[in-house]
Structure 1
């Protein structure tokens, strides 16, 4: 019977080892390749390995590797990532492995980053596969996945913690807030930030719902448009600014607020000619920027323009169909003809959703084709592609109806169709379809094992591997962005927008939580402090809402009647709208600067953290100068400040 890797560190001796990650290998993998891979995973990091604990499964012939890590390794990873932990005084401080006894606990960082970052030091052939050649600087796991040697690589659930989280998160019916800290402890910061933002955004919509009752107390109906428009603009600004304060507070207590800015290694999927990096001295792939720009210019841009043309053509066909339907309804005497009025909107919404799904796959393929070096650059380019297309596809017809047709009745109809039909389609695709697929998949697996009475732990690991891989948070954030656009840009003409979104999001929180816990594999955890580029996308729509709301006010029947009453010409009305627009933009900027991104007490805590880090750094330098001399002190200073060893000889070359 195989066993775990022997633990040599006396302080890390454990009575039992908890499996953190599973790696499923090919059924036809050769024994020498498996032994070589296990040795690489077990080898200390100073010799080019991952230094993790490996269990080869039930026996040496099994194709499942169980992976874990010692407490010391997890603490060292915590320090390398620059995470902060609470000390015995209750203050957050950058974690130090050397002074680990001064901290209350050490969070377990998943070992995926150590394994994914494994690079080949010496060129060699994969044992047992002479046709597969590994070159220095290449990512080991990425190449083994590409060749089919590694089939799956996923974290393993902790059943006890998961059941406790499910009970508090979505099984109990209560008005209690989400257990965001528990979600973060189990699934990591990115997932916790998404659910926290979804709950924060949903709660902020209650102000919109309460405002919808204001017109009932107003004698002048023209005032309601002005009140809604001004409130939309201020609401979007205050909501996003308060969210930044909320997320920074969460990131502080999670220890991710001030992550170290290391020299970032290239993506595993990045390819090019291997050259020596002039900064780190390591062999890394290099791809010229001019070739990347050429791919963007000749392939990416034409492909995006084709899909944008399809979106515009769909919008044009919908408008013509809508016009024909109105004329047909005016001549029809059938009582069922009213249903035909909504047929163009429903069909166009279905067309939009299909086009969004197809374009998403294209955008990922195009971004991979562009061959970006960093993961952050890859995600930025992908997000920009999708946001531009979704904006045209989802909001293009609404802008055309607003600014060209100036038909508020058609705008309300189109917006209500978007909200209702899109939500039904999203709930069906995101919840019911994955659940049915997973049930059918699991039923087929259990039928094969129906003759077995008991299942060892390895069977539970295999069953988790049969779940669907977690698709990430991209589509979830995009859905919130579209909702934010509907409510901030056009809800002044359709006040029910906020109420419909609240009902949808309450269900969305529970269904997303259910999918994460029951349907998909557990995702890997990465440190994060903010929602990233999505914050910029939300703020951009917030500024655009100033233009749309001012224009909607100017074309409303009540305001138009008021202008005719005071004999205002169209150009004078336009001038008033432009003045109001500029005043609201100035007001948005004042609010953004008046609400700090971090509370005052948090700014003080951050300064205390930086002060303590400087004092600790000076002590390290003083100790190094007295024991090892000036040369080692300089080397330590370079390593601590830069996060990597500077290769002076490479720089001279």
Structure 2
């Protein structure tokens, strides 16, 4: 068979669907299903017939015997799905309104799939329909062992993935669209990124992450400047350190409140601010005996909440505590190693032994990073085993586990050094090691190593021309590194925010070092998503979710940290001795300052509205119009 001829996608091979208004001369492949290479033709035909039941357009790939199935979606299916998801689109008057298929004539570009629904939304809708495809009756898979049946109401694709018939499902890149904005994104040295293009192509989660990263990087300029000036000053000013500590507390509050406003603006413009969060569909991996949902009256798995709580409290909780114990052991080993190296340096002080003083911090930084990576996998396994019904619940509990462990694993040593050992020199050395070594590790593992691997050992089919078969290009995309999500990126920013808000009053260069890191992080992360990673599916989101709460909790803890770190400054000790101020008075003043700053944070948080006035008015107008439409509908009945 002539491969180059057979690899071209014949238009006649696409199933045309049942709706005549959806017929089109051009169908764009959007998603690929990679099958087991030994799949039989009858098995593939059966799978194609099942996919058609999800109202998707299907292409068999090269031929009926190939290991690939291509998917697209019709116009009407897109419109119905957009309404079901609660996506908002541009109305004829220029406003952003929740889409209604009965009122589609009044939405701009509703007849044009390219303009009305983004590429990321199309691919997510296809994935969602695949994940929730169920069998009506128990049936066997043609060409597959008879004992591997799909039970009534069972999720088809979950079963096929588990049995190894489906190897992977991945969305396809649109090379033309990506090239239009990608080069500007990761090559230009600026703090401006094509946010709307990122949203349209990669979806709201990645767009929100990069928007937050740029916003956060801009916000680090003031603390970086203040810290740099304080560090370079030839005199140690107690007032300067106190001012920087108070500034950090106010800065962290203002930045997070302003981000809420920015987040609301972006969500409104992207049509996700009013996403329907009620009656979420069960996760594809959610399991349990079939029952009838009392709200939707549909058949779906049921798992008692008390069993989930038992698993969380009696298994997940103790196991997380055990892993925290490993973190404590690492901390104890660090302090022992630190004393040993100090003793050795005192015995033989010279330039050759000087680096040994920093060796314990470097080793513990590597250990901390290793533990964070190991725990991430354990947390995912535990959260999956807890069997959460909906995706939002799964993500919240998974993220919570990551946050708790990361906070303890990364900050316990620093708090111990600061508040128990009260060794500010060791704290400064430790911070310098974390800020430099951790950043180098992250940049190497996340970007440099995958990039060099791609350059030195390119995947088969990487360097293809325009005339090469489309199927070969799709096969190449399936071999690219799978995107692991945004947890690693958010955790990195979470740690940065903690270092800056907790300890920059004793190590003023923290802000400058983090600013320098993030200026490169914006570009290296962009390079990963554009050149190295397989294109990920993107769930529409209205904000950064639980990460907003996590950052706000760090801001609250920073009040206590900054107030009591000031007490341990040598300048404060000298000032108290010169003015005969006793320890009780100093502690009382620190407590008063702490309460005053917490009260100030509350005032700032309530004083800055979560949504801009214009967004608040738009949302109120949408809710009023929805109420009026519901009244008219009831009157008509």
- TM category, shorter: over 0.9
User: Whole-Å Cα distance in 2 between the matches of residues 318 and 151 of structure 1?
Assistant: 44
Aligned to 2:448: 432
Stretches (4+) displaced over 6 A? 216-220
Out of 611-620 and 71-80, give the one that drifted further: 611-620
Alignment partner of 2:490: what SS?
A: helix
**1:618 and 2:628 matched:** no
Say which SS state the counterpart of residue 540 (structure 2) adopts: coil
Task: Please show how residues 168-247 of structure 1 align to structure 2 within 5 Å.
Answer: 168-171=184-187, 173-175=188-190, 177-212=192-227, 215=230, 221-247=237-263
* Alignment pair present for 1:146 and 2:150: no
- Please give the residue correspondences for 1:311-460 in structure 2 after superposition, counting only pairs within 5 Å: 311-439=327-455, 442-443=458-459, 445-446=460-461, 455-460=468-473
The answer to whether the Cα contact below 8 Å between 2:227 and 2:511 also exists between their aligned partners in 1 is no
Q: Secondary structure at the match of 2:629?
A: helix
Aligned with 1:65: secondary structure? strand
**Counterparts of 1:422 and 1:517, CA distance in 2:** 24
Checking the alignment, whether the CA contact within 8 Å between 2:36 and 2:165 is kept in structure 1 is yes
Deviation for aligned residue 1:157: 0.8
Structure 2 unaligned regions, length at least 5: 1-9, 110-115
Give, in angstroms, the shift of residue 217 of structure 1: 7.8
TM-score w.r.t. length of structure 1: 0.90
Contact 2:199–2:207 (8 Å) recurs in 1 = yes
After TM superposition, give the deviation of residue 261 of structure 1 in Å: 2.7
What residue number does 2:267 align with?
251
1:128 aligns with 2:143: yes
> Which residue pairs with 1:23 in the alignment?
33
1:90 corresponds, among 80, 91, 94, to 94
Deviations 1:332-367 (A, max 9, x none): 242222111111111111111111111111111111
**In structure 2, the residue corresponding to 1:99 is in which secondary structure?**
helix
Q: How does 1:518-529 map to 2 (within 5 A)?
A: 518-529=531-542
The alpha-carbon deviation at position 12 of structure 1 amounts to 2.4
CA distance in 2, matches of 1:8, 1:137: 24
Aligned equivalents of 2:423 and 2:318: distance in 1? 33
Aligned equivalents of 2:278 and 2:268: distance in 1? 19
Structure 1 Cα separation of the partners of residues 458 and 235 of structure 2: 61
C-alpha distance in 2, partners of 1:440/1:143?
38
Give 1:552's aligned residue: 565
Contact 1:438 1:467 (C-alpha < 8 Å) held by counterparts: no
Q: Is residue 2:55 matched to residue 1:51?
A: yes
Distance 2:60 2:411 in 1: 53
Alpha-carbon shift at residue 453 of structure 1 (Å)? 11
1:278 matched residue in structure 2: 294
CA distance in 2 between counterparts of 1:219 and 1:469 reads: 52
The DSSP-based 3-state class of the residue aligned with 1:396 is helix
Q: Which residue of 2 aligns with 1:607?
A: 620
Compute the displacement of 1:145 (Å).
0.8
Residue range with higher mean Cα deviation, 238-247 or 281-290: 281-290
My pick for the range that moved more, 77-86 or 579-588, is 77-86
**CA distance, structure 2, for counterparts of residue 10 and residue 307 of structure 1:** 58
How far off is 1:291 after superposition? 2.8
Using the size of structure 2 for normalisation, the TM-score is 0.93
Q: 1:488, 1:542 within 8 Å by CA — same for their partners in 2?
A: yes
C-alpha separation in 2, matches of 1:334 and 1:604? 68
Shift of 1:329: 2.0
CA RMSD of superposed structures (Å): 2.0
Alignment length, in residue pairs? 614
Gaps of 5+ in 1: 43-48, 626-653
